Structure 1
Amino acid sequence: MEQHNSGGNILELWDNSQGWIHFLDAYLTEATEYKLRIIGSQADVRIQGIPLPFYQEQNGYHAVFITPFQFGTLKVFFNGRDFETYVYPDDRKMTEEQFNGMLEEILQEANSCFQFSGLETFVNASGRNREITWTQWSYIDQSFTQLKQLFSKIEKQPFRGIEKHVTMMKREKVKHSEQVTLRWLDVKGYGGDIPSHVQNEKKLETFNLYENQVLKQQLQDLSRLLRKYENVELEAVARKSAKYRGIVERWLNSPFIREITANKGSYTITQKFRKHPVYRNWYQWFDTLYKHNREGIGFDYPISLKDTFQLYEMWCFMKIVKILREARLVLNTSRLFQTKKDGIFLGLAENKESKIQLIGGLSLFYQRMYQFNTKRFHTFTQRMIPDIVFEGEKGIIIFDPKYRVPDNLGTALGEMHKYRDGIIHRDTGKRAVQEVYILTPTKDEHAEGLRYFREDFQQNYRIGAIQVAPGFVDDNLKEKILASFESLRAIQK
């Protein structure tokens, strides 16, 4: 490890359990705020190339630093020298399995809601673009590097075998008296009078084995699949899929692959696929690829793995939709969907105000916008866009997903007061928001003992937090949603 000081200066970080420690000795976690100080004279400090401003106090120069949302290597420039440390994953962060699970649940509920949509466009489950979905594209985008590594290993050491070819050659080049040569001489009746050219068997090394034939077939199928993604309206997806298809085409034109005859039709997993570690992983990659190839509603905008907070907001919304749908409170979901030439897309996105019509004159909104000139409810200060809104003629109830705030729930709830105080009914001038709840994936050990999660706190103050996370029982959410619906419907009368 590099020395901790540079030019007589020392860069330190405040650790709650140890106090001030050398920066490079600190255990950093992603998306966390830290206090830094420089002992000595002012210094040039840059984190990932961005200068960090320091202010002077009696015991040195101080700054506040927030680690990146993603874990990985962190580059630090201090007083003319480069250092590296590591940012570790936050144990509150959802796993990739939970991320993919949320995607699947969103799409499943989208399929269930489609029957309420009222769309006039006929949708055939076996339509031309049904085999491409956002979950499948996410898998390709996240794991294509793994496929590149697997192909590189296979290309260096592919399965190979010996292929025999019967050919005519000069007799002096026959090194061994092969049975095929002796039989040919006997059939031709040459006896002891051996001609200048004789028939012999030549053995050649070949890659044209069944496993490699399947591999070529899979690459051809992948190239055709990527071509479909090139034709979607999302520029980022089309550009990336073109790049990936270019790589696949280079593989198909490599000398190793060109020698192979592609398999036709269905294929099976052989013992070689099962036992060889690289070929087995290759087969599993394609097996997983087509598990995403299911009937489903696609997304029309990208979500990266690092933007889990955005996916969490959508997932919470669709969880609430499911609760209402199963309670038979949903009338129409047409504004959840958009019809485009590429198919039917789930239209959840910021500022689109996706709306679901409920019974009793109520509506459920995703990313509902309120500002000074909105009709029924408006704000007299800044524009406000709560994530999930129950809305009726006389009131509003807000559910605001907050991903990864267990250590800062009080501050997050404090921010909810802007909704309660800032959104008012245009006709009456009264506050419109009846209740506000934060939805958070806070773990049980964090939630226990916090008053915000208790029912008595929520009843008294009409504000609080509800634990909502993939894989957990959501009875509390269901009870709160149905109670909020009835409460809002009651004030409509």
Structure 2
Amino acid sequence: MAPLNSGDKPLEVWVPSEGWKPFEEAFLFEAKEYKLRYEGDGIDLRLQGIPVPFHKEGNMFITSFMTPFQSGSVEVSINGQYFETFIYPDSRKLTEQQFDLMIEEILEESNICFQLSGLEREVSASGRDRGASWTQWIYIERSFQHLRRIFRRIEKQPFSRLIKLPINQKRDRVQRIDLKTLHWLDKKGYGEQIPLHVEMAKTFETVDVYENQVLKMQLFDLSTLLRIYMNVDRLGVSKTARKYHSIIRRWLNAPFMQEVSMHQGAYTITQKFRKHPVYRQWYQWFEQLYRHNREGIGFDYPIPMKDTFELYEMWCFMKIVGILRGLNLVNETSGLYRTTNSGLFLDLAQNKESRIELRDGMSLYFQRNYQYNSGKFHTFTQRMVPDIVLEHGNEVIIFDPKYRVPGNLGTALGEMHKYRDGILHWDTGDRAVREVFILTPTSEETVDSMRYFEEWFHDRYKMGAIPMVPGDENEQLKGLLTKILK
């Protein structure tokens, strides 16, 4: 970028590992705070058209800003001059595959725990099902826009084929004679006895082919499925399902779909479905749609990908449940479930205070609620709701999942002091929290360089951080729980 004027210096950004460097040369990462400085007469910085305010310190204009929680190209304007930079993905952010893995492992552990729950309701475990489920709705919600793009491409250029159909035409309009017309004339007459209208074959292009017939049937089935979600007793789901249903009905009324007859019964994948780049994506979308009900236990509320932190908290809790179950400490798990007319649901949500009964009088809670009148343990200041709590006798051990930690783990650990100092035993007035740990999907490379993850730090300060990454073995948490319970 050309200099603004002969006296101005370029806008600079502070990069911890490199120091101050020109803004347009820096690598920016999402959801991260950066410091900026500019030396000159004045600065007008805009990111995607949104102004960034500066304050003046001496002859410098100083500010700090937080990059958005998404990656991609960003348009930057500095004093009216434009250029583009790129915000890179945060390495701490979980992938879509890890998101799916967390859902799978939560439901898998919930099915195992159901055997210990004492409930008598049966749970289905079919591989493919056309019923509604929580995981299926998440799939529809987050991939529906992808389906819209596929349909637009198909609508612009659908599969078609040429067919010959018989028509009656005035004999003076016949331009070309084919064998079918000659055979017809042999039967009907020739010479002066040729009828005024002659039968002939005309070639037409039709979109009523097998793949489009299957496509129409799939759309009809999807509209039927969406009607189920329209009746769910949750405003956000029913409203979105109603919107999607109207879109599907509009697709079924599209001009090219009016020419297509609907396939009946089972269908198979053809070579066109296998090899065509657009129709293959369509087929794969519907194949995946009915693979989200392997466990009949579901959630009665949705979690979109933008709220991954909620799913991460549930996943950490169920992983701890699995470890305790492996240590033969789980006694009864009915507190995890809620039975409704619609089915059986895993009842994990904020402020639900789900409880698992462990052996030797211990209890494990999800979203445990502590306040001034909460019984055995209470707080003398504000209400506190730690994510995962293990209570044993007069002691409390807290695990706090942190899907994203701003800046460094030290700040997040500092917040844990409120639990250690603020939760008291009602009878004695002593501090009840024995140990506090943060669970975070931090990479191994970062873990090796930070003392918060070291065993000596845990033993000395009774607090610290533990890596919990979907897809990894997470042996450190198992070792820590085993040590604490002994």
Q: What TM-score does the superposition give when structure 2 sets the normalisation length?
A: 0.90
Q: Deviations over 1:223-256 (max 9, x none)?
A: 1122222221222222222222211111110110
In structure 1, the residue matched to 2:383 is 383
Following superposition, the deviation at residue 190 of structure 1 comes to 6.0
> Aligned Cα RMSD in Å?
2.9
Matched with 2:367 is: 367
Residue pair 2:123, 2:296 contacting (<8 A) in 1 also: no
Change (3 A) 1:122 1:258: same
Instruction: Provide closer, same or farther for how the CA distance between residues 130 and 105 of structure 1 changes in structure 2, counting only shifts above 3 A.
Output: farther
Residues 76-475 of structure 1: matches in 2 within 5 Å?
85-119=85-119, 131-188=131-188, 193-405=193-405, 408-475=408-475
Tell me what 2:56 maps to. 56
Partners of 2:367 and 2:387 within 8 A in 1 = yes
- Counterpart residue identity of residue 186, structure 1: D
Kindly state the Cα deviation for residue 5 of structure 1 after the two structures are TM-superposed. Answer: 7.7
| Aligned CA distance change for structure 1 residues 261 and 89 (closer, same or farther; 3 Å) | same
Counterpart Cα distance in 1 of 2:235 and 2:6: 46
Amino acid in the other structure paired with 1:358: L
Which one is further off, 426-435 or 405-414?
Answer: 405-414
| Partner SS for 2:14 | strand
Question: What's 1:69 paired with?
Answer: 69
Instruction: State whether residues 116 and 332 of structure 1, in contact with CA within 8 Å, keep that contact through their aligned partners in structure 2.
Output: yes
1:292-331 CA deviation, whole Å, 9 max, x = no partner?
2433322233322232222211110111112223333223
User: Partners of 2:202 and 2:228 in 1: how far apart?
Assistant: 44
Could you say if the C-alpha distance between residues 176 and 80 of structure 1 is closer, same or farther in structure 2, counting changes exceeding 3 Å?
closer
The alpha-carbon deviation at position 212 of structure 1 amounts to 0.8
CA deviation vs aligned residue, 1:382-403 (integer Å, no higher than 9, x gap):
3222111001331111111122
1:204–1:191 CA distance, 2 compared to 1 (3 A): same
**Number of the residue aligned with 2:37:** 37
Deviates most, 64-73 or 266-275: 64-73
Partners of 2:37 and 2:63 lie apart in 1 by: 6
Q: Give the AA of the match of 2:152.
A: S
* Letter paired with 1:89: P
Separation of aligned partners in 2, 1:328 and 1:179: 84
User: What's the TM-score, normalizing by structure 1?
Assistant: 0.89
In structure 2, stretches of 5+ residues that fail to align are none
After TM superposition, give the deviation of residue 62 of structure 1 in Å: 1.9
Partners of 1:288 and 1:374 in 2: CA distance: 46
Kept in 1, the 8 Å contact 2:217–2:264? The answer is: yes
Deviation at 1:418, TM superposition (A): 2.1
| Mapped partners of 1:112, 1:2: distance in 2 | 64
Quickly say closer, same or farther: Cα 1:226–1:428, change in 2 above 3 A: same
CA 1:59–1:342 in 2, change beyond 3 Å: closer, same or farther?
farther
Contact 2:3 2:10 survives alignment (8 Å) = no
Q: Hey, what's the Cα distance between the residues in 2 that align with 1:406 and 1:323?
A: 29
Deviation at 1:346, TM superposition (A): 2.1
Whole-Å separation in 1 of the counterparts to 2:5 and 2:341: 60
* 8 A Cα contact 2:123 2:295, kept in partner: no
Structure 2 equivalent of residue 476 of structure 1: 476
Which shifted more, 70-79 or 224-233? 70-79
Counterpart CA distance in 1 for 2:84 and 2:134 is 36
Structure 1: state its 5+ residue gaps.
488-493
Count of aligned positions: 484
The sequence identity of aligned pairs, in percent, is: 58
Distance in 2 (CA, whole Å) between partners of 1:333 and 1:15 is 49
Matched position secondary structure for 1:68? coil
Q: In 2, distance between residues paired with 1:6 and 1:211?
A: 65
Distance 1:122 1:284, change over 3 A: closer
One-letter amino acid matched to 2:434:
Q
Decide whether aligned partners of structure 1 residues 376 and 80 sit closer, same or farther in structure 2, where only a CA change above 3 A counts: farther
Deviation at 1:262, TM superposition (A): 1.0
